[in-house]
Amino acid sequence: MTGRPFPAAVFPGHGGLDGATARRRYVTVSFLFWLPIGMSIATGVLLFTERGMGLAAIAGFYAVHSLTAAAMELPTGGLSDVIGRRPVLAVAGLLNLTAFTLIGLGAAGWAIALGMGLMGLARALSSGPAEAWYVDTVHAHAGPDADLRTGLARGSSATSAALALGTLLGGGLPWLLGLAPGLGQWLADTTGGLVIPLSVPALLGALVEGVFVLYVLSALPEPPRPRTTLRRVMGGVPAAIAAGLRLGARDALIRRILLTASAAGAALAAVELLTPGRAAALMGTAESGALVFAGLACAGFLCSALGSQLAPLVARFAGSSERAVLASLGLVTLGLTLLGLTTHAMSPLATTVAVTGYGLVYLGLGAAGPNENDLLHRRVDASGRATALSVQSLSLQLVAAGAGLGAGALPPGPLPWLLAATAVLAGALLWVRRAAPAPVPPHPGSSATEGPVAAPVPAGPLHDTAPEEIHPHARPT
């Protein structure tokens, strides 16, 4: 595998899709996958509580989800590079369909834990294949120098919009069902207690996942991969994992991207852990605080969507994707600092400043993501693209888990916020200097004295399992 660009004519198998069509389908897939997850955000804890689960058990359910996603992130990323993007995405949708059904109907702890575990596995499977399919398809049509930022930005915006809309639907449906006298009790009596108003968003999410699977199978063509066996698949996945782990070690730019993902994980951990308590303290009760946080979370997703949509514009004004990442992370640092400085203040001015800081965090993260991934896809070829995205997601998730534990152990006050701001500032400073282009070996027939040429870096030894035609060239909030 040389990493040499091929002309667009040798990229068969993507159904002749042009860039605009591929972009629309990528946006649709992103929206359909994340809409049910957004619907579960507002009602998840309340549903488990209504089923008789204590807080310790609920924390355990979410731990099952997080640990499963982290443990399977790299293996499933490698699987996508071995057997294809479409089948892995379809399996992720089927797992989520099963998970939402178990969560919506399950009254026993084991059923809910199993559902959360399946959702974590689906999260790991979905980390990278859709985006990798989009980049592969665009490169097949327009070559390795095609613009990616616009499509990546719209996909990220669709994810954020789906989470925002899903949060509103998930919180509003049980409330609307409660307006009809006796409807909730009728649902419970008719189904033997399996269906209650709080479980309706999860069951509706299962239906959406069915639509997602059908759309993936019908709308995402890709080149046929070599016929393989279970033994070859199992042999190719560890190679892809090892290649992913070597990415940061041998390429300074990819190392920056992974460290930046870690900084984003620290920021998200602080925001997601500390904001609900601040909302409850502001409103005086946990119930009203939860309602305020749901609205604030929806606003955060919308800010993230706006930031993603503005990512290409930020890159043009800044002069490059690297400078755009620097500016975006500076915005995140400012937002976390504002949240830290207003921790103990409850005045209207302080609350306004804190809400502004919250919005800046998500706006900056939304603008940084597409520009980081634009740089990543120009550095990694098709045989390891999904693996690289999984390594990036894993970096974010692991640091988010550790940062969350650390923030919870610190005394309440500005310190957790300011430490998160410091971590993001350190990530921003990585982008002050531009990275050198990646050198590639001289092509056959070229002079050995020629200088290095910027080119995608192959992610690993997948010659036997990746199609030769497509060699060249994520945690939402």
Q: Answer with the residue of higher pLDDT: 31 or 169.
A: 31
Kindly tell me if the per-residue pLDDT of 239 is higher than 80. no
> What is the rounded CA–CA span in Å between residue 437 and residue 418?
34
Compute the mean pLDDT over every residue in the chain, rounded to the nearest whole number: 77
- Residue-wise pLDDT for 286-345, tens only, equals 546 656 777 888 888 889 888 888 888 888 888 888 899 999 999 999 999 999 998 888
Two tokens at 82? 């071995």
What are φ and ψ of residue 5, in 5° steps?
Answer: -65, 140
Name the one residue in this structure whose structure tokens are 């049910």: 36
Confidence of residue 215 (pLDDT cuts 50, 70, 90): very high
- Point out the least confidently predicted range of 381-385, 401-405, 428-432: 381-385
Mean pLDDT, rounded, for 374-390: 73
Confidence of residue 383 (pLDDT cuts 50, 70, 90): low
Task: Kindly provide the b/e burial profile for residues 258-288, where b requires at least 16 CB atoms within 10 angstroms of the residue's own CB.
Answer: bbbbbbbbbbbbbbbbbbbebbbeeeeeeee
Confidence of residue 400 (pLDDT cuts 50, 70, 90): confident
> What is the rounded CA–CA span in Å between residue 290 and residue 328?
29
Mean pLDDT, rounded, for 364-380: 84
Q: Answer with the residue of higher pLDDT: 397 or 304.
A: 304
- Point out the least confidently predicted range of 147-151, 315-319, 340-344, 368-372: 147-151
pLDDT value, residue 100:
95
Kindly tell me if the per-residue pLDDT of 401 is higher than 50. yes
Q: Which residues lie closer than 8 Å to 470 by C-beta, 6 or more apart?
A: 11, 13, 136, 139, 140, 223, 382, 383
> What is the rounded CA–CA span in Å between residue 282 and residue 290?
11
pLDDT value, residue 261:
87
Q: Which residues lie closer than 8 Å to 213 by C-beta, 6 or more apart?
A: 90, 93, 94, 97
pLDDT value, residue 341:
92
Kindly tell me if the per-residue pLDDT of 363 is higher than 70. yes
pLDDT value, residue 422:
93
> What is the rounded CA–CA span in Å between residue 154 and residue 150?
6
Top mean-pLDDT range of 34-43, 71-80, 352-361 = 352-361
Share of the chain above pLDDT 90, in %: 20
> What is the rounded CA–CA span in Å between residue 291 and residue 280?
9
Kindly tell me if the per-residue pLDDT of 132 is higher than 90. no
pLDDT value, residue 129:
85
Nearest to 386 by CA among 129, 73, 89, 120: 129
Spatial contact of 360 and 332, defined as CB atoms under 8 Å apart:
yes
Name the one residue in this structure whose structure tokens are 């430490």: 419
pLDDT value, residue 109:
87
pLDDT value, residue 402:
75
Within its chain, how far is the Cα of 407 from the centroid?
Answer: 22
Kindly tell me if the per-residue pLDDT of 268 is higher than 70. yes
C-beta atoms surrounding 365 within 10 Å: 30
Spatial contact of 386 and 129, defined as CB atoms under 8 Å apart:
yes
Confidence of residue 10 (pLDDT cuts 50, 70, 90): very low
> What is the rounded CA–CA span in Å between residue 313 and residue 36?
30
Strand partners, 380: 457
Q: Residue 168, SS3?
A: helix
Two tokens at 201? 């968003």
Angle at 119 between CA 109 and CA 309, to 5 degrees: 140
pLDDT value, residue 234:
61
pLDDT value, residue 414:
86
pLDDT value, residue 212:
96
Spatial contact of 356 and 337, defined as CB atoms under 8 Å apart:
no
Kindly tell me if the per-residue pLDDT of 95 is higher than 90. yes
Mean pLDDT, rounded, for 247-257: 77
